[in-house]
Chains A and B, each alone.
Chain A
Amino acid sequence: MLGPLRSVTGRSDAGLRDLADEELMQLVRRGNASAFEVVYDRHADAAFSLAYRMCAQRALAEDVVQEGFLALWRSGARYDRNRGSVRTWILGIVHNRAIDALRRRAVRDRGRVNDEGIEERMAAPDRTDLEVARRDEAREVRDALRALPDEQSRVIELAYFGGLTHVQIAAMLDIPVGTIKGRMRLGLAKMRMTLGDPAEVVQ
């Protein structure tokens, strides 16, 4: 049974914000809603941005993010730090939820982001080293994607952001399934070489 927050963590709510994600997840596993809120605040923008890129509809993206974070709260005990950062884990959950939503609702024009009233593009002050590192990472990943031959970047984007299966992509492009798989593999392998040690990229 959880007692008052301070007795669980030895910290105030404000002190929670000094904890690393992995430490927060230990508290989340014990049902600490305040720790979960800190995790949410840190990663909700990235989660929403991914969902919005995939769904291209604000309402659907909001549903996906909400469902994803609730799933995270309710399965927090299963976070395994050996399989990547908390951020990677969260974005993986949101990605899976978005794919489910896209395939379930047969959204048209996916992949084409529109505004729908979203005007809160994040301000870009370089407040912390972490934010600078993330911006550098974003640029490197975009550059690596752009450096691919169009045929490879297209199948990767249709699959990862469009939520399409390799069979659907093959039908859409009128190309054999084996070729689609090959392009995915080649593209990802080239990106891996471009990005160097992937562990430095995703954390």
Chain B
Amino acid sequence: MSEDRRPSGDGDCGGNAAPYVLGALTPAENDAFLQHMSTCAVCREEVAALETVASSLPASVPQFSAPRQIKRGVMAEVRADARRARRPGATRPAMAAGRRGRSALVPAALALAVIALLAIVIVGSGGGASGTRVIRAEVSAPGASGTVRVSGGHAEITLAGMPQPHSGRVYELWTKRAGGPEPTDALFTVSSRGEATVGVPGGVAGVRVVMVTSEPLGGSRRPSGAPLVLAQLG
């Protein structure tokens, strides 16, 4: 892959380094600029220089004490996650349902991207214990595998042999009902052996597909790439 050395101010690069570090690009522009940076050393250097300035901006705001109820809410979930991770058979990190579901709807156009992603097909499912279904997911990573265990309206996905997310990325779990993929608060990585067990936040009533993508830290509101794991629940 050749490196582009054109300066970013000449129009070829779109002058997007400054709006990028300020968070002022649209999601589509942001994705395109990230792709562009992978081949443009000039933009990478400019972003590195401007990013440090942008990251100093929070210091300029009036400082307040964080209300105590935030900590109570955060630590309740953190300790619950930690307890779940200590259960026999669990792997770290095991993610729990988020504090609240996300309600953002994914634009219909994005569903097209997901259709393309459905090139990953479901390879099978099997029954389990009474009231429990175990569904095998298709996983794109060579040598990796995944299953979804559905019981009582709740589901848990277990992965093995997954690669670590790339630097600055995290795995995100999505559900798909009648419309496009809906983000969940389940952001996770895998253990050194590529394992993770992740609860599907909010239950799986009406959920047809559960899938996993690689997203920037903090997660995304819509998939930024093809699903790495996909399981058809019904």
State the A residues within 8 Å of B (CB).
Answer: 1-2, 30-33, 36-37, 40-41, 44-50, 52-53, 58, 62, 65-78, 80, 83-84, 88-89, 91-93, 95-97, 99-100, 104, 113, 118, 120-122, 134, 137-138, 141-142, 145, 156, 159-161, 163-167, 169, 178, 180-182, 184-185, 187-189, 191-192, 195, 198-199, 201-202
Contacts and interface: CB of A to CB of B under 8 A. Distances in A.
A36 B217 CA distance: 17
8 contacts: A2-B86, A44-B71, A47-B66, A68-B218, A70-B185, A78-B169, A78-B217, A185-B9
A93 B78 contact: no
B65 interface: yes
Contacts of B17: 185
Contacts, number: 231
Chain A binding surface SS class: helix
Contacts of A198: 49, 52-53, 56
Given A66-B73, A78-B165, A84-B55, A118 B64 contact: yes
Contact of A195 (B56, B73, B104): B56
Given A74-B170, A120-B64, 15 more contacts: A31-B93, A66-B73, A69-B74, A77-B93, A78-B170, A80-B168, A121-B63, A159-B23, A165-B26, A184-B19, A185-B50, A187-B18, A188-B21, A195-B53, A202-B56
B56 A137 contact: yes
